[in-house]
A and B are shown apart, each in its own frame.
Chain A
């Protein structure tokens, strides 16, 4: 009796062929992107999405061609942060064209497709078992979008990942070895511990780990212009075994701008946060250029 490998083709199901063709289509679509950066956090609530958006803004202000892929299909935020909520992607000559923020960043986010408060549904043939295949189906949906999007030439594509060490690893694997990884932390023992876990989880992957950006690194006082500690000093906080590419203070003004879909670069004299973001963006791009 013949074995599996002795039989040529799949008898007509076309499953393996479809998956291979889809991967080839994604590779073609992303061929014009110079650097792909997966921005993960390990832990939710550290300001990863806001930081991703504002890093995109400072890179764009520095003359880079930037795109943002909101990989969090169930909790999309980049459409709102980019001020393109309700702006649909549209069919173009060469593929799906994306909404563009006022500062010129192309944004692919499910938030452009859903009304505020609406969520994607993941219907299942087997009731109460949507959890079994959900992650796979999310990635299949993301692959479908990536196979259709016409990004055009980009210097940087920032990928805003869902939170969680396992999700960071999953998406780094999905994006392939050419995607570098940037982690976002905050100066608390709890958050650093989770980020350290992400570092360990990423270790077996070939993806280049660029470093981390420490968000909420102090509080930028609008009154006196100084930066003061936001979290108590903790000697127990895990030391992250990776370079710090920047420390971004917390600033209520940035939170307000983000809710309004505006970039920090749209505000003149935005203070220490703008300077810290610009410096982090510069350092990030330098690191990307150094990656072999």
Chain B
């Protein structure tokens, strides 16, 4: 979908996205010529339509998708969630932080590199992967999960 400023005959640019209310997304466009701003407010069905495509609205998401390892993360929660899944709307909103990255995990600590590796896999896989890795860490008496523990977990599960 593209938006055109009719008086200027100029394409409007996406300026911001936000959840205007539960189930509705506000996508704000502005005209680069005259500065006129408008907001597209989705109803619940339109919100579901966007969500069904498994995309996020905004350039930040597109940049993340360019990296296959990041793609799944950026596409996450668009559809199908395990009981450990997060708010499905958050994946649609540009600039939304990943709760798993922000929250301090219980149990063994994760090094930034290991955590980055975990966050590079699809969100629906993460809870089970995290649990399996932490189980292996505990089995081997590791307090910190790093690349070596990830490798040990892969070995433990025959990968």
A contact residues vs B (CB 8 Å cutoff):
1-2, 4, 7-15, 17-19, 21-22, 25, 28-29, 73, 87-92, 95-100, 110, 112-114, 118, 120-127, 129, 132-133, 136-138, 140-141, 143-145, 147-148
Q: Could you give 18 example pairs across A and B, Cβ below 8 Å?
A: A1-B4, A2-B9, A10-B1, A11-B13, A14-B55, A14-B62, A91-B118, A92-B159, A96-B72, A113-B127, A120-B82, A125-B89, A126-B44, A133-B79, A137-B54, A137-B80, A141-B124, A148-B69
Q: Specify which chain A residues have a CB less than 8 angstroms from the CB of B69 in the assembled complex.
A: 95, 148
B36 lies within 8 A of chain A by Cβ: no
| In the bound complex, CA of A147 to CA of B64 (Å) | 13
| 8 Å CB interface, B101-159 against A | 117-118, 120-122, 124-125, 127-129, 131-133, 150, 153-154, 157-159
- Of A29, A89, A132, the contact of B121 (CB 8 Å cutoff): A89
Q: Specify which chain A residues have a CB less than 8 angstroms from the CB of B117 in the assembled complex.
A: 91
| 8 Å CB interface, B66-91 against A | 66, 68-69, 71-72, 74-76, 78-83, 85, 88-89
B contact residues vs A (CB 8 Å cutoff):
1-4, 6, 9, 11-15, 22-24, 27, 29, 43-45, 47-59, 61-62, 65-66, 68-69, 71-72, 74-76, 78-83, 85, 88-89, 117-118, 120-122, 124-125, 127-129, 131-133, 150, 153-154, 157-159
Additional 20 contacts, C-beta under 8 A, given A123-B88, A138-B79: A7-B2, A11-B13, A11-B14, A12-B14, A14-B62, A15-B50, A18-B75, A89-B121, A89-B129, A90-B132, A90-B153, A91-B120, A95-B121, A97-B159, A118-B83, A129-B48, A140-B54, A145-B125, A147-B72, A148-B68
- Of A19, A88, A89, A120, the contact of B131 (CB 8 Å cutoff): A88
Please, which residue of chain A has its CB at the minimum distance from the CB of B80? A141
| In the bound complex, CA of A96 to CA of B48 (Å) | 28
Q: Specify which chain B residues have a CB less than 8 angstroms from the CB of A127 in the assembled complex.
A: 44
Please, which residue of chain B has its CB at the minimum distance from the CB of A142? B80
Give the number of A-B contacts (CB < 8 Å).
Answer: 213
Q: Are B45's CB and A145's CB within 8 A?
A: no
Q: Are A29's CB and B68's CB within 8 A?
A: yes
A117 → B minimal CB distance (Å): 12
Given A21-B66, A141-B79, do A13 and B71 touch, yes or no (CB 8 Å)?
no
Please, which residue of chain A has its CB at the minimum distance from the CB of B50? A15
Interface secondary structure of B, over-half rule: mixed
A122 → B minimal CB distance (Å): 6
Q: Are B2's CB and A113's CB within 8 A?
A: no
Q: Are A22's CB and B65's CB within 8 A?
A: yes
Residue in B11, B22, B80 with the greatest tally of chain A CB atoms within 10 Å:
B80
Q: Specify which chain B residues have a CB less than 8 angstroms from the CB of A120 in the assembled complex.
A: 80-82, 124
Given A92-B159, A148-B121, do A121 and B129 touch, yes or no (CB 8 Å)?
no
- Of A88, A118, A144, the contact of B129 (CB 8 Å cutoff): A88
Residue in B13, B43, B118 with the greatest tally of chain A CB atoms within 10 Å:
B13
B16 → A minimal CB distance (Å): 10
Q: Nearest 9 CB-CB pairs, A to B?
A: A137-B79, A140-B54, A12-B14, A14-B62, A126-B44, A125-B23, A88-B128, A133-B52, A141-B80
A177 → B minimal CB distance (Å): 22
B57 → A minimal CB distance (Å): 5
Given A91-B120, A147-B72, do A141 and B51 touch, yes or no (CB 8 Å)?
no
- Of A14, A18, A96, A140, the contact of B125 (CB 8 Å cutoff): A96
Q: Specify which chain A residues have a CB less than 8 angstroms from the CB of B82 in the assembled complex.
A: 113-114, 118, 120-121
Please, which residue of chain B has its CB at the minimum distance from the CB of A140? B54
A38 → B minimal CB distance (Å): 20
| In the bound complex, CA of A17 to CA of B62 (Å) | 7
B83 → A minimal CB distance (Å): 7
Q: Specify which chain B residues have a CB less than 8 angstroms from the CB of A88 in the assembled complex.
A: 125, 128-129, 131-132, 157
Q: Are A14's CB and B61's CB within 8 A?
A: yes
Q: Are B76's CB and A144's CB within 8 A?
A: yes
| In the bound complex, CA of A131 to CA of B49 (Å) | 12
